[in-house]
Each structure stands twice: as structure tokens, then as C-alpha cells.
């Protein structure tokens, strides 16, 4: 919270050094790419990145170009957490055998990172295994709510009502996505790991504080990061940060952290309360700047269901935080 209070001057206190650098091939307005800058500024150089196949992998590594100034490995789509398990175990045993970084005292943080498809769908087993084993690493799921790299197909993180290329709006099926978004953070909390947090690059200081915490934790930590994708959400490229703010303020993606099972809601609690009590206005601002929700304008019944679900989720989260 302190960083937030530093206000407009806080940005000047951040490290100038870019460890995720310019020259990558992300789309205009890509929020996940911005997120990588924030994450690496928070961790510094003592980081090993294990990247799942996905947007951030392909845009940063078309040989011979490399946007990373930290060691980086990409193996496949569904296994970033398993690769990270191996990296973490390898470092630990080589340290014990005095054959790795014996000249360094800093902790080398190991980060597994994947998109929502690579994490919540195809990568869930590998992640669950890594969490259950108590792997000393942190995992980032950057959630842009569909398979963006392959062309905006639905995943289990796609929200109810969103139109994607595999949950299209049609005459027979006018709703788009017809299932509720998987509660990923709760799945991680259920593993009883030391640290789980949600974050959003629209709140950089909150995000970076959480990254520092996740990297420092002994044992597994998970960050569920809401990362708007203007290309896939069919909106203007300059709207990513704004949409992240609106998602948090409307209660669509509350920012909270769970330390050893204890919940704390971090930001914009008042705004969320206001929105949830009278959600129509805030939620509409969030939804209707995005082409993927355009068809919902006339779907009052579905909108009511979405509002009700939002209210329920918020009530549940608040109850956990107040416990």
C-alpha cells in the first residue's frame, strides 16, 4: 500500500534497467508485454524464466532476436510449471553439491509463466503437481481470457458471454461463451501454498510488490494477472490499461492476496462495493468498450445473470477476507 501512496513520483523510484526489452513483436497496446517489464523490474537479474508456448514466448524469441536479459527457457505449451520444477530442483541440488553459483548469495528466483490456456486448461496438471510438491518457484498466469496466440479461441478463462472464434455469436447460440470463468486463484489456494495473489498491470506498484513477495517466498507462489488484450478483446489499442482499471473497479477482477490461507483485498474496495451495489453503470463501462461483448447490449437476462454472479463472487471473497 505504501508504494501506491507515493503517487506520481513513485515511477521514478523504479529501476531504470529494462530486463524485458524493446524490439519484441507484441501487438500495439499489448498489456502482457507491459506486464513482463513490470515483473522483471520487480525481480531484477537473479531470475530464470520458464515460458510456456504462447504470445509472450513467440513475440520475445524469434531467433536470432531475444527480448530477454535474463536466462530463459521455453520447452512446450502445457509444462512450464514442470520445467520450472526441474530448474528449481537442479539449482537446489547443485548448490548443495557446491557446483552452482557458489559465488552468489542472492536467491535465484525461478518463474514459470503461461497464458490462461497454457495454465488453466492444458497446463493445470503440471502446475498442480509443481504446487503440491512444494516447488520453490513462482508461477505467473497472465490471463487475457482466450487463446490469443492461435487467434482468439475460447479457454476455461473466457468470461460468460464473450464472443471468441470458437464461442462465436450465432443465430442458434446468441450468447457467445456459455460457461463461467474458472476460478483459478481458488484452485491454487486449495493447494495450501504459502502465497497466491491476483494482480493487474493497470496497478503497477501493487503488481510489483506482489511479484517481489512471490519471488521471495520459500515454496510455491502463484500470481493470477489480469492482462487485457486489445487485439483479442476487439477494442482500441490504447484501452488496455483503462480496461484493467475498470475490471478491478467493477468487481470483475478484484485484487487480493492470500498469505498462508489468509485473504486480504488490496485495492479499490470502495469502488467495487459501489459497483456491486449498483453494477449496471460500472459493468457496462467495462463490457461495452470491448467488441467481444457487443452483442450483450440487448441480452438483458444474461447481463442480469452476469451481475448476479459478480455480486455472489464479491460477497464470497469479502466473507473470506473478513474471516
Partner 1 sequence: MSGRIEPGKTVGMEVSIAQAEVVAQCDVDCIAAYPITPQTHIVEHLSEIVAEGDLQAAFMPVESEHSAMSACIGMSAVGARTFTATSSQGLALMHEMLYIASGLRLPIVMSCVNRALSAPINIWGDQGDIMAERDTGWVQIFTENGQEVIDQTICSFKIAEDPRVSLPTIVNMDGFQMSHVIEPMVFYPTAKIRDFLGVFQPLQRLDPRAPAMFGPVGIPEIYTESKKAHDVALLNSQAVIEEVWARFAKEFGRQYAAVETYQTEGAEYLLVTIGGLSETASVAIDELRAAGRKVGQLRLRLWRPFPAAAVRQALAGVKGAIVFDRCLSVAGTGGPAATEIKAALYNEPVRPTIVGFIGGLGGRDVTVGDFRAMIEKGIGYIDRGDAPLYELVGVRE
Minimum distance, C-beta of residue 135 to partner 1, in the bound complex (Å): 9
Q: Is 73 in the site for partner 1 (CB under 8 A)?
A: yes
Minimum distance, C-beta of residue 94 to partner 1, in the bound complex (Å): 6
The continuous run of DSSP H or E covering 241 comes out as: helix 240-249
C-alpha–C-alpha distance, residues 208 and 235, integer Å: 26
Residue 285's CB: how many other CB atoms inside 10 A?
16
Give the start-end residues of each E strand in 203-283.
Answer: 221-226, 256-259, 262-265
**Of the residues 100, 183, 294, 311, which one makes contact with partner 1 according to CB under 8 A:** 100
| Residue closer to partner 1, measured from CB, 119 or 158 | 119
Q: Is 15 in the site for partner 1 (CB under 8 A)?
A: no
Q: Is 76 in the site for partner 1 (CB under 8 A)?
A: yes
The DSSP code for 260 is T
The DSSP code for 29 is T
First-residue to last-residue Cα distance in the chain: 21
Q: Is 71 in the site for partner 1 (CB under 8 A)?
A: yes
> What residues from 17 to 46 belong to the interface with partner 1 (CB under 8 A)?
45-46
Write out the three cell numbers for 88: 528449481
56 within 8 A of 115, measured Cβ to Cβ: yes
Burial of 229 per CB tally in 10 Å (0-12, 13-18, 19+): buried
Q: Is 132 in the site for partner 1 (CB under 8 A)?
A: yes
> What residues from 231 to 290 belong to the interface with partner 1 (CB under 8 A)?
none
**Of the residues 89, 239, 302, 321, which one makes contact with partner 1 according to CB under 8 A:** 89
Minimum distance, C-beta of residue 153 to partner 1, in the bound complex (Å): 20
User: Per CB under 8 A, which region of 76-84, 154-162, 173-181, 247-255 contacts partner 1?
Assistant: 76-84
Sign of CA dihedral 17, 81, 233, 272: negative
Q: Is 92 in the site for partner 1 (CB under 8 A)?
A: yes
| Residue closer to partner 1, measured from CB, 9 or 63 | 63
C-alpha–C-alpha distance, residues 112 and 302, integer Å: 36
Give the length of the chain: 323
Q: Is 221 in the site for partner 1 (CB under 8 A)?
A: no
User: Per CB under 8 A, which region of 90-98, 166-174, 225-233, 309-317 contacts partner 1?
Assistant: 90-98
Q: Is 116 in the site for partner 1 (CB under 8 A)?
A: no
Q: Is 134 in the site for partner 1 (CB under 8 A)?
A: no
C-alpha–C-alpha distance, residues 45 and 295, integer Å: 45
| Residue closer to partner 1, measured from CB, 39 or 199 | 39
C-alpha–C-alpha distance, residues 248 and 202, integer Å: 9
Interface with partner 1 (CB under 8 A): 45-48, 50, 57-58, 61-64, 66, 68-76, 78-79, 82-94, 96-97, 99-101, 104, 108, 125-126, 128-129, 132-133
Amino acid at each position: 500500500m505504501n508504494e501506491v501512496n507515493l503517487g506520481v513520483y513513485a515511477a521514478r523510484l523504479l529501476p531504470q534497467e529494462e530486463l524485458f526489452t524493446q524490439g519484441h513483436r507484441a501487438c500495439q497496446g499489448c498489456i502482457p508485454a507491459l506486464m513482463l517489464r513490470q515483473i522483471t523490474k520487480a525481480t531484477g537479474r537473479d531470475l530464470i524464466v520458464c515460458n510456456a508456448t504462447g504470445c509472450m514466448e513467440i513475440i520475445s524469441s524469434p531467433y536470432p532476436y531475444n527480448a530477454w536479459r535474463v536466462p530463459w527457457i521455453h520447452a512446450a505449451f502445457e509444462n512450464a510449471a514442470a520445467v520450472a520444477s526441474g530448474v528449481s530442483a537442479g539449482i537446489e541440488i547443485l548448490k548443495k553439491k557446491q557446483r552452482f553459483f557458489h559465488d552468489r548469495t542472492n536467491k535465484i528466483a525461478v518463474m514459470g509463466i503461461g497464458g490462461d490456456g497454457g495454465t488453466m486448461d492444458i497446463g493445470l496438471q503440471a502446475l498442480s503437481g509443481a504446487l503440491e510438491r512444494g516447488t520453490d518457484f513462482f508461477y505467473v498466469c497472465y490471463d487475457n481470457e482466450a487463446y490469443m496466440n492461435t487467434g482468439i479461441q475460447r479457454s476455461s478463462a473466457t468470461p460468460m458471454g464473450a464472443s471468441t472464434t470458437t464461442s462465436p455469436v450465432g443465430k442458434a447460440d446468441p450468447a457467445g461463451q456459455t460457461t463461467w470463468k474458472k476460478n483459478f486463484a481458488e484452485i491454487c489456494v486449495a493447494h495450501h501454498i504459502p502465497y497466491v495473489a491476483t494482480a493487474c498491470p493497470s496497478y503497477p506498484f501493487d503488481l510489483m510488490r506482489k511479484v517481489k513477495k512471490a519471488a521471495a517466498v520459500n515454496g510455491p507462489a502463484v500470481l493470477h494477472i489480469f492482462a487485457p488484450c486489445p487485439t483479442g478483446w476487439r477494442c482500441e489499442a490504447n484501452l488496455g490499461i483503462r480496461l484493467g482499471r475498470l475490471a478491478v473497479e467493477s468487481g470483475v477482477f478484484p485484487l487480493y492476496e492470500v498469505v498462508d490461507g489468509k485473504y486480504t483485498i488490496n485495492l479499490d474496495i470502495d469502488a467495487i462495493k459501489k459497483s456491486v451495489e449498483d453494477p449496471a453503470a460500472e459493468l457496462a463501462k467495462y463490457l461495452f468498450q470491448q467488441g467481444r461483448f457487443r452483442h450483450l447490449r440487448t441480452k438483458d437476462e444474461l447481463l442480469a445473470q452476469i451481475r448476479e454472479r459478480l455480486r455472489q463472487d464479491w460477497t464470497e471473497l469479502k466473507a473470506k477476507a473478513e474471516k
